Amino acid sequence: MSEYIARLRERVGHELLLLASVAVLVRDDRGALLLMSSADTGLWQTIGGAIDPDESPASAARREALEEAGIDVELRGIVAVLGGPQYRWTYPNGDQTAYVTIVYDAAVAAGTPLADGDEALDVRWWSVDELGECEMNDFTRSLLFEAGVTGTP
């Protein structure tokens, strides 16, 4: 969680916050998708997070990829802009967030994916066929479906 969000949380407690965020669909040459295992839940999810004040969505997407997976990414366009009740999230400490998420398609431009050990416990390439077996939260399942990556939510 960014310092900005942490300071905001100090002021509002656990009340629902509406936040802009990014998700980065990093794909390899075979179409496999890079996911991270979340330190909060242990479940697999897309790389991404909240957009900081005065930060562009594209800059946030590149920053999150570098922070969580140690890679520089080439953004190849916006796939979707998503929001709604399926994009609400309650953190382990009780903080509630409703995200409006800008989803980017991306490729690794430099670096080898490696989990940061803070937000991401692990990173792994998943083929589209394997995603049905992947343990992920409803937020991620909805995002991958609405972004056209999977055929079922």
pLDDT value at residue 94: 86
Please state the pTM of the whole predicted model.
Answer: 0.90
pLDDT value at residue 22: 98
Q: With bands split at pLDDT 50, 70 and 90, how would you rate the model's confidence at 95?
A: confident
Q: Is residue 136 part of a domain?
A: yes
Q: Which domain holds residue 31?
A: 3-146
CATH assignment of the domain containing 131? 3.90.79.10
> Which among 27, 120, 17 has a CA at the least distance from the CA of 77?
27
**Phi, psi of 8, deg, nearest 5:** -60, -40
Number of structural domains found in the chain:
1
Q: With bands split at pLDDT 50, 70 and 90, how would you rate the model's confidence at 109?
A: very high
The CA distances from residue 99 to 18, 30, 32, 129, 132, in Å, are: 6, 30, 25, 27, 24
The three-class DSSP label of residue 10 is: helix
Which residues are within 8 A (CB) of 71 and not within 5 positions of it... i.e. 6 or more apart?
A: 26, 65, 108, 109, 110, 111, 112, 113
Q: Using CA atoms, how far apart are residues 95 and 91, in angstroms rounded to an integer? A: 5
Q: Using CA atoms, how far apart are residues 134 and 64, in angstroms rounded to an integer? A: 22
Q: Is residue 153 part of a domain?
A: no
Q: Is residue 152 part of a domain?
A: no
**Phi, psi of 12, deg, nearest 5:** -110, -5
The CA distances from residue 35 to 18, 68, 81, 93, in Å, are: 24, 10, 19, 23
Mean pLDDT confidence for 55-62:
98
